[in-house]
Amino acid sequence: MGVRGVKTSRWRSRLAVVICCTIFAVLTSGCGLTSSNQSQAVSVFKLAVGDCLVPPTKIQADLTSITVVSCNLAHTQQVFGIAKLSGSSSSYPTTQTLDAQANGLCLDKFAQFVGIPYQKSKLFFTYMLPSVGSWSAGDRSVVCVLESVTGPLHRSAKGSKL
């Protein structure tokens, strides 16, 4: 009877450990940030096409980072293109020159991303341009950003024909 009691006790201990571990795994599986509900501040120099954004509440002339969220979370902006501006000069171009180039480059990329021409879309677009400082450091990128003005999106606008 002593041997039998030890085996039963070990078996019950092992079973209890397995049950506890299983319960712990089930209870904690929904905890923490996962890729489906993550949000993080990302440098504007690290943005990628497809990133969904929550813009800052205050307008900033020199934006250095922005909140990137999973596209299944509420967001009002999404990066739909990144293009290179022409201009090898070290002097910063005029606002009119930058705006004209950015509008053309982003307009070309809009239909490719959303799936319909900009003129037929319910979405708007804006863009991020190099600052004077980043231009002098060689930055020639324009980040094209679509924007929903009718309310937040809860999925990617890629191919959405919105």
Predicted pLDDT at 37: 56
Note the pLDDT tens digit of each residue in 26-36: 333 333 333 44
113 burial (CB, 10 Å; 0-12 / 13-18 / 19+) is buried
What are the tokens at 21? 């571990």
* pLDDT the model gives residue 16: 34
Output the six-digit token pair for 8.
């039963």
H-assigned helices in 30-145 = 95-114, 132-136
Element (H, E) at 5: helix 2-28
Beta strands in 29-158 (DSSP E): 39-43, 52-54, 65-69, 77-84, 124-128, 141-147
Which residues contact residue 111 at a Cβ distance below 8 angstroms, ignoring those fewer than 6 apart? 117, 118
5-23, pLDDT tens digit by residue?
333 333 333 333 333 333 3
**Positions of the chain with pLDDT lower than 70, given as ranges:** 1-37
